[in-house]
Structure 1
Amino acid sequence: MLGATNLSDDSRAPLLIHSVADLRRWRRNALMAGKTVGMVPTMGALHDGHLNLVRRARTSCDLVVVCIYVNPSQFAPHEDLDQYPRTLQQDIALLGGSAKDAARQTDASATGCLADVVFAPSNESVYPDGITTVRKDQRGAFVEVLGLSHQMEGVTRPHFFRGVATIVTKLINLVQPDRVFFGQKDAQQCVVVRSLIRNLCLPVEMTVVETTREQDGLAMSSRNRYLTAEERQPAIALYKALRRAQTAYLEGERRRSALMELANAEISAAPNVSLEYLSLAHPRTLDELDNIGEDGAIISGAIRMPSARLIDNLLLGCEL
């Protein structure tokens, strides 16, 4: 049973909910109390990038739900589903931190923590017909966003955005948030989810929060913990490449050929770094651009290192 549904509860930890029934009971109480709800979907292994999303949600909404669920349908059979870090107790402790410096301090905060609720469902709750990473064996309802899922990340991970679109739709249906919060680091995901919300007429607003970075510029990611000490310095090659292209853009360069040449040179000089792709795409259609126009562009890429695959992006004259 749900242990605490009182929205004025003053405990120092988020309420942990596993079952759909308990989540719906909590959400019904929030609705009856007239509270707005923000949702931050994550796969756990939280870092400060995730916490910045939660902080933004706290400043915008009365109550904050952080979803922690490692979603099988966005992994291929050869990918790291089984190895993906699962640190639920540590995540809950991080979300139990004081919201004083990040939140509006009113009676809207149920716990005084960064998050009011952690929703950590089971696979059976999310996929009642079962779930496998083998697409041909999957059963049940899945969601695809056509036209935005096949390029960039979708070239080497063609299964990925089908899984993302499906789990985001399920979590929005389960939590019924007023607002959802995503990080810019996953720029293509942000474009896909915006299209999903618009095309399925989902009654939710979406906010994209700027990428949180380490001091040297490396985008924070749960997979950064895979990096060895020797790989940590070369890992910033992608960020340096994107920054070099961004600098040229700010100085007036608009040609794809020139920007990509600068970025490729930076990555080629880094040891143990293999470039998977570089993209210069329109911020809404994700079409590759020969020249950047008035709508701006997303410059993004992925690199592989012996221990990890890393992605990053920068925005050139546009917003997500």
Structure 2
Amino acid sequence: MGYKTISPTNFSGDCQSKQELSEPDVFIHTSGSLQITAHSSILASASPVLENMIDRSDKDSSSESVIQIPGVPCDAVTAFVDYLYLSRCTNEQMDKYGIHLLALSHVYCVPQLKQMCSKGLAERLAMENVVDVLQLARLCDAPYLYFKCMKLLSNHFKAIEKTEGWAFLQENDTWLELQILHFMDETELRKKRARRQKQEQSLYMQLSEAMECLEHICTEGCTDVGPYDMELTKKKAPCSKFSTCQGLQLVIRHFAMCKRRVNGGCLRCKRMWQLLRLHSSICEQPDSCKVPLCRQFKLRMQEAKPKDDPRWKLLVKKVASAKAMSSLSLLKRKQL
């Protein structure tokens, strides 16, 4: 077979000095009848696999070393050799031969090129090629690219399900199909957990805000509800948490006048009882606290400590944490 011989393109001798680089002593044969001349010192320093191939070739023959790189386009092999010389890859080369360069970097153990190809292919993912790139990422052990493919599949599964790549995958690689579906299920579960945690955190922040408003109302007074042992000398302006504060004042006034709360038949009163108990669980100064029943709840909880509901303990812990975070955030804002 006749080979067309070329040298690595764009090589300016900046990787080693010209004194070190004598005449090329390695011939790389591609599947497209192309022969690339190269230097064994450059190839061996860039790839341990090529180094072993050159050593074996030197032992088997006294003539020039020959390396066969079949199965990929000759231009992709040329781009690969260029990278071994110059340690860089152009956008045009990545656009045209990114998939082939990833395979070559994996086979010949060139980790820097492999990392570059993983990022480059991840930026160029599309619904039409994501299944093919995913299969290659798995074969080449490229976890970053594999995850990016999985994420795109999960986010646009309905559209990708209609592509030829997905149909081919279903017919030829059912194990990978199961992995994709499992990843999608896990992703949906994580989203649900994140939404639930966000809702729970919002609830804890609301309860923390209600604690602050309760202490504020019972200590300083706010609008038309004030401390039970002190007269308001001037009209109070609405506080910064007016919505929460106003709602809590309505509940306090209802709680003071409701006749059904004695028998435990009023839902609004039950909530007020829970709010007072929650405050007492968090309060660190029950003896001087002006919130009603704070000390009484604290004493009752100390007596019934072994029988505490673990869910109530968790609620107290979460609300206390939310209150601390709120205070820290307020302090930071004041400092700014």
**What's the TM-score once normalised by structure 1's chain length?**
0.21
**What's the TM-score once normalised by structure 2's chain length?**
0.21
Q: Which has the higher contact order (CA 8 A, sep 6+)?
A: 1
Structure having the larger proportion of residues in helix:
2
Structure having the larger proportion of residues in strand:
1
